[in-house]
Amino acid sequence: MAATQVGWIGLGSMGIGMSKNLQKHLSKAGSPSLIYTNRTLSRGELLQELGAIPVETVKGVASKCDIIFSCVSNDAVLQGITDEIIASGDIQGKVYVDCSTVHPDTSKTVSNKISAAGAEFVAAPVFGAAPMAEAGKLIFVTAGPPTAITRITPYLSGVMGKSIIEMGPDVAKSSLTKIAGNICVVSFMEVISEAHVFAEKTGLGSPTLEKLLSDMFGPVIESYSKRISTGIYAPAPDGKAGFDVSLAIKDARHALNCASGVGVKLDVSGIALDHMVKAQQLQPGRPLDSSSMYGAIRYESALDFFTDLCKKRDGSI
C-alpha cells in the first residue's frame, strides 16, 4: 500500500509554523515529504530547507496528495481554493482539511462541494497565535466525517497542536466553536486595552496593571496585556503583525453576523470591532495587530496612538 502523501496550502503567519511542524513530523516518521504551495512561493524557503517540496499551484498540490491541509486568510480565498482542488482531477477518496477561521455557512458550502466530488472535508480551525503555531501548541476544533477525522488525527495532536476538540460530523459546529472563542478573545482584548488606558490616565501605571492581571488571571490574560505593553499592538512601519487586524475584523464580523441570526447582542464585540476599524483609519497602510484597538482607545482618551516605547523603537522620539 502506497504511503500517504500530505499537502499544504497557505503560508501566512499561522500556516508557516504549522506546516514546518508537519514537515518535521513527516521527516522523522520516514513519510513522504510535505508538498506545499502559497501565493508567494518564496515564503516557503524555510519549509523547503526542512525537506518540503514546493509546487506552483493549488491544483499541483491537490493532484499529488491524499490529504490536503489549508490555512488561508478569508472565506473568499477558501472558496477559490476549493474550486481549484475540485478542478485538479479525480479527488475520490481524498481528505481536504481547512484550518482557517470562516463563517459556518462557508464551511457547509465547501463541505458540500468536496463531498459531491467524492472526497471528504474536515473543518479544523485552530486556537492560538503564531508563536503557538510555531511551537506546535495549537488547539484544533475538528468536525467532519468520522473516517476523515481518523485519517488526519495523527497529524494534529502532538504534531501541530496540543489538543483536539471534536465536534462531530457537522462542519458548521467547529466554525461556531471557533467564533465563540473569538468572541471571548476580542472581548478580553478590548477590556484589557481599556484598563491599560485607565491605568495610564489615572497615574496607576501599566506595569502595576500588568502585574495585577498576571497574578489574578494567569498567563493567558498576561499574554494579551503584553501585546500592549511590548508594543506588539502597533509593529514598526516595516514590521509584520502577529495577527493582522484585518483578519480580526473579519472574525468579529462573522461573530456579529452569526449572533444576529439567532437574536443575540454582542455589545463588547461590536465596540471592539469599531475600535479595530478606527485603528486602521488612524494608521492607514501601517501594519497593525489585532490588539491595535488599544491605540484607538488611547486616541479617544486624548493620548497618542503610540506609546513612548513604540515611538522610541521607531525612532520618532
Strands (E) in 201-287, as ranges, are: none
Distance of CA 106 to the CA centre of its chain: 16
Instruction: Specify whether the backbone of 115 is left (phi greater than 0), alpha (psi in -120 to 50) or beta.
Output: alpha
Question: What is the distance, to the nearest Å, from the Cα of residue 165 to the centroid of all Cα atoms in its chain?
Answer: 16
HSE-CB of 127 using CA atoms within 13 angstroms: 22
Q: Any bridge partners for residue 116, and if so which?
A: none
CA separation for the pair 81, 218 (Å, rounded): 39
* Non-local CB neighbours of 105 within 8 Å, separated by 6+ positions: 172
Catalytic residues: 178
Cell numbers that stand for 301 in this block: 482618551
Cell numbers representing residue 171 in the block: 462542519
Residues 6+ apart with CB under 8 A from 219: none
Helix, strand or coil for residue 48?
A: helix
Task: Give the burial string for 207-218 (b: 16+ CB within 10 Å, else e).
Answer: eebbeebeeeee
Proportion of the chain in helix, strand, coil states, percent, rounded to 5: 55, 10, 30
Q: Which three cell numbers stand for residue 37?
A: 504551495
DSSP string covering 78-119: HHHHHHHHHHTS--TT-EEEE-S---HHHHHHHHHHHHHTT-
DSSP state of 203: T
For residue 267, give the C-alpha cell.
455589545
